[in-house]
Each structure stands twice: as structure tokens, then as C-alpha cells.
Structure 1
Amino acid sequence: MSEYKHVTAMADYALRLREQLQEVNEHSFNSFRVRVGINVGPVVAGVIGARKPQYDIWGNAVNVASRMDSTGVCDKIQITEEVNQILSAKGYPTTCRGTIEVKGKGTMQTFFLDGPAQPELIKDPLQSTSTSIPTNITVNPLANLNEKQTVSNPTVLLGTISEKN
């Protein structure tokens, strides 16, 4: 049952992040809000910089996750249609946001992640008629850190935290 574990881990992380931020606000004088975007897909990852090495990721999946964040709604977790298919099958409740205009992509159907997985919502994979989404993730921990590594279908989560105005 570890298929798409990386996607469910990111969903759980985003939900917990939102929950913890609400708790911080309740027990402090802050009014922080979070906006999160999640996408899945292939990326290129690597460490760049000789003097100040930094790990970074690049690719269409990163750009779309960034667009999910930037076009999102405060206190919501916006996900792509592909992520919605995966999470819905795993029992996560979602709501269709509808189509939005995404820079560089045109219109995209997006969804909001509403809460943690609920066992009664889990779909039987044998009954599913949706297309298969590849899930292989291969990272060589012994690889030279100065070389880019291709990682297939990791989940990309990007978020923005700001104070309420």
C-alpha cells in the first residue's frame, strides 16, 4: 500500500502545517495565514554553487506547484487534477475549485484538499478507470552532489505564509 506514499506524505504535511499555524495564531498575537500548492511530476534536482552550495529543484512540476501556490486561496491547499486523482483514491476529501488560468499552462482544473484521509472514502483500485500514473522515484544518495539528479514523479509542495491584513 506504499504506492503514492510520497503524495500522501505531502498532503499530510500540508494539512498539519495549516493546523499548526492555526494553533500558533490562537496562542500568540500573530495572524499568519498559509497558502499551499501541491503538484506531482518529474523534476531535476541538484546542488549548485561552489562557494555557497544550495540544493534546488527545477522542472515543469515545480513550476505548476508554484502556480498552484500563487493562484491559491489563503488557508487552503490547492492541488492539481493529477494529485486529486491520487488523493481521492486514497480517501482524502477534496473539493473542485473549478478551472483557473495558469500562467504558461492555460486553463487548469484545480481542487482543494479538505482534510486527512478517511477510510470510508478509499476507492478500490481495481474499480478505478483513471489512467495509470507512474510512481518510480530513484535517487542515488552516493551520487556526486555537484551533478543534477533526475527524480521521477516526486511530489512538489510550495507554500506562502503571510500575516493577515
Structure 2
Amino acid sequence: MSLPPECSLEATPLPVCFAQAQAAYHWVDGSSLGGADPALQQRVADGLAFAEKAAELVSSLSVFSANEELEDINTGDLKYLLLPFLRAELILRIQPEEAAGCHDVRLKHLRHAAALLEAFLRDLEARRALRAEARAGWEEACADKPLDAAASRTLKKPGPEVPLEP
């Protein structure tokens, strides 16, 4: 999984970074190891490093332009649209060490992954890559999403009971 010691992640080309990130995701996703297993966590860390480097390269090489639709994208580059998804999935597999503040770290990872998944869906939508039923489901899910924790608590509070008239 890891590069040989004589190679550095910085010198790794985009296709290799993507392939390594994707291989790590598939390995982790298919693994029967427990979430906190050191081998699994190492694979998650390696995959995430490759995915983040690949995302950095996609941006610096301007692989996609903001106004490109799906049909305009080079077929060989389509796979790079998956990078936010791969990054989010690997971030969701990170198990913080049990210590004070581990819940804060986990929450930070969850928020980061949610932002990446939302960016992934927005990018697909902007490129007209979502079918109508997928777009409708996503819009419905976003419409139901409370803006913040206080709004969520307000929605959960039952209103005052109004007696029924006989």
C-alpha cells in the first residue's frame, strides 16, 4: 500500500495517488478488522494521505473547470470526481484514541466528512451528473436539515397541549 521509502508522496503522480487512495478505500471497506485495529487505521491514514494529495493535484492541475458538465470532462478524468467521496469515507473510518476530547475529534471528523459528501453531491449536481430521482432525494434531505443544534432542539420540543373542546 505505502510507497517504497525511496519515493515520496510529494513526487507521486495524480493517477498513482488516486489508485492508491481507491485501493485503500476498497481494502478498508472490505476488511473484517475492527475499526480501531492498528492495521486498518494505518491503511485509512495511508489512503487519506493519497486522496488528499490527489485532490490537491486535481486542483493545482486544473483538471476540471467550474463550468464543465459531465459530457465535457475527459473520460479518463471522470474518476477524479470521486475524490471528495473517497476522502469522506476514509475520514469516517478514523478512530480517535480513547482520551479526553476524543468525542470532539470524532465530531470534527464527522463534520468534515459531511462537508466533503455535500461538496461531492453539489459538484455532481452542477455537472448534471445526478439523475432526477437522486437529485429529488438529495433536495428533500437538504430541505429537512435543521440549520443548527438549537434549531434541531426547537423542532424536537413538543408544543403546548391544547385541550380539545367537547
So what's the TM-score if we normalise by structure 2? 0.22
The structure number with the bigger radius of gyration is 2
Compare the two structures and name the one with the higher strand fraction.
1
